[in-house]
Amino acid sequence: MLRSLYSGISGMKNFQTKLDTIGNNIANVNTYGYKKARVTFKDAISQTSSGATGPQANKGGTNAVQVGLGSKVGSIDTIDTQGSFETTGRVLDLAISGDGYFEVTDGSQNYYTRAGNFYLDADNNLVNSDGFKVLGTNGQAINLSSLDGKSFDIGTDGSINYTDANGNPATLNQKIAIATFANPSGLTKEGGNLYSESVNSGAPNTTAASNNQGTINSGYLEMSNVDLSDELTNMIVAERGFQANTRIITTSDEILQELVNLKR
């Protein structure tokens, strides 16, 4: 069988993966805090027909003769660039400017997210849309029961500020935490705008927000960093690549048909 037939098949599979990734990016173009993905390819193993030879006294060296056997997916990268901010004016809508993630917990495991659309539950815990509690710098869930219904605002360092009974400014003894990672692209996507720590992301460094990592902006939400013009262009490139590989298979099939028809 022709090697080009299998090279074409590998190319089709790879471009299908690329189209799947582009489709997921486009589906999440309006998902708060979503970070787009990118597919890279690399060549597969090459079959060596003859090895390289070194130069001799009366004869120069020759290069190896190798035939490539297609391609494969090299990586699917998470591109964690900053998304644009959408103004909401709601105090509990938070966006991180810079690096870092909000830390939330379901009671058994901690997760990390860039989507800052938070709410208060019946016990005045700060939670996300799934009810996961938002953690502070002390590792405890943020609870606003002590504010007794008073209005409050959230500072850029994650501090929660309010006015006490005497009309004096006061600050809650908890701050919303920001977690940073040595390799944020190594986080594992868990769905629901959540990430979890992996062996290649490094352990989280959880501190108060600061200019050295990220600052918190109340009244804003970070939009997806998906650029539709880029994705649609990449879709065209992937579609044409897929078509070109199907043509390789068609051409290889025609050659095989000619071989079969040599004797009639």
112 and 210 share a domain?
yes
Tell me the two tokens of residue 140: 């405890």
Helix, strand, coil share of the chain (percent; to 5) = 25, 35, 40
With beta carbons less than 8 A apart as the criterion, state whether 174 and 140 touch. yes
What's this model's pTM, rounded to 2 decimal places?
0.85
Give me the pLDDT at residue 38, please.
95
179 and 65 share a domain?
no
Contacts with 108 (C-beta within 8 Å, 6 or more apart), sequence order: none
114 and 212 share a domain?
yes
With beta carbons less than 8 A apart as the criterion, state whether 225 and 83 touch. yes
With beta carbons less than 8 A apart as the criterion, state whether 176 and 154 touch. yes
Environment class of 20 (CB within 10 Å of its CB; exposed 0-12, middle 13-18, buried 19+): middle
Give me the pLDDT at residue 4, please.
85
Helix (H, G, I), strand (E, B) or coil at 6: helix
Site of tokens 């009309």: 167
Give me the pLDDT at residue 212, please.
76
169 and 196 share a domain?
yes
32 and 161 share a domain?
no
- Quote the domain boundaries for residue 130: 85-222
Helix (H, G, I), strand (E, B) or coil at 184: helix
Environment class of 162 (CB within 10 Å of its CB; exposed 0-12, middle 13-18, buried 19+): middle
- Structural domains of the chain, count: 2
93 and 198 share a domain?
yes
The candidate with the shortest Cα–Cα distance to 220, out of 129, 34, 87, is 87
113 and 70 share a domain?
no
With beta carbons less than 8 A apart as the criterion, state whether 61 and 53 touch. yes
Give me the pLDDT at residue 199, please.
94
37 and 158 share a domain?
no
Per-residue confidence of the chain (264 residues) as pLDDT tens digits? 578 888 889 999 999 999 999 999 999 999 999 999 999 999 988 888 888 888 888 888 888 888 888 899 999 999 989 999 999 999 999 999 999 999 999 999 999 999 999 999 999 999 999 999 999 999 999 999 888 878 899 999 999 998 877 778 888 899 999 999 999 999 999 999 999 999 999 999 988 888 777 899 999 999 999 999 999 999 999 999 999 999 988 888 888 888 888 876
State the number of CA atoms in the 13 A half-sphere of 14 facing the CB.
24
197 and 100 share a domain?
yes
Give me the pLDDT at residue 164, please.
79
